[in-house]
Amino acid sequence: MRKTILVIIVVITPYISFSQTTNEKYQEKLTTLDSTIKSLYQVISGAKGEERDWDFLRYMFHPKAELIASGKRKDGSYGSKHVTVEEYIKTSGKWMLENGFFEKELHRVTEQFGQIAHVFTTYECFNSKTDKEPFMRGINSVQLMYNGKRWVIMSLYFTQETKDNPIPKKYLPN
């Protein structure tokens, strides 16, 4: 019995240490709203062929969080598509790897009450760092909770700018 317990401790200890070190590294990047939003943009951005740190993305979000894309349907009505972080990684990860994807923040409006915050962050997207013109712009509506140690993303709701739905001036840089 003692040998079995000793073997379990010897085998599991390195994984526990690695996990704690990784979480501490990630946690440091999420201690402020500013660093959390910057980390969100950084973790999904990368050159063609560059793997993303999906473990960090998973760590940023609450386990029950959703990413919600919204927009106009072909029939003229508006709708939304709700996905989990895992579904987002599965569906968008391959495309990002094959095409390159850089999402940059243009402007931000933040509202906070105690441990909850809402960040309206205007973005533009590029396939590479050298692109001059974005292929897409829009607004991310990010809801967050401070858990006493770090900010956790509870949901990310976003929509693209269109000809019929341009980004209002108040959500663009001056």
SS3 string, the chain, reads CHHHHHHHHHHHHHHHHHHHHHHHHHHHCCCCHHHHHHHHHHHHCECCCCCCCHHHHHHHEEEEEEEEEEEECCCCCEEEEEECHHHHHHHHHHHHHHHCEEEEEEEEEEEEECCEEEEEEEEEEECCCCCCCCCEEEEEEEEEEECCCCEEEEEEEEEECCCCCCCCHHHCCC
Q: pLDDT band for 16, please (50, 70, 90 cuts).
A: very low
Ranking 13-22, 78-87, 140-149 by mean pLDDT, the lowest is 13-22
Average pLDDT, the chain: 89
Q: pLDDT band for 57, please (50, 70, 90 cuts).
A: very high
> Which backbone phi and psi does 145 adopt, to 5 degrees?
-135, 135
Pair of tokens at residue 24: 């501490």
Q: Which domains does the chain have, with CATH numbers?
A: 2-171 (3.10.450.50)
| Whole-number Å distance between alpha carbons of 68 and 50 | 25
Is residue 5 predicted with pLDDT exceeding 70? no
Q: How many CB atoms are located within 10 Å of the residue 37 CB?
A: 22
**What is the pLDDT, as a whole number, of residue 17?**
38
pLDDT tens digit sequence for 101-131: 999 999 999 999 999 999 999 999 999 999 9
pLDDT tens digit sequence for 63-105: 999 999 999 889 989 999 999 999 999 999 999 999 999 999 9
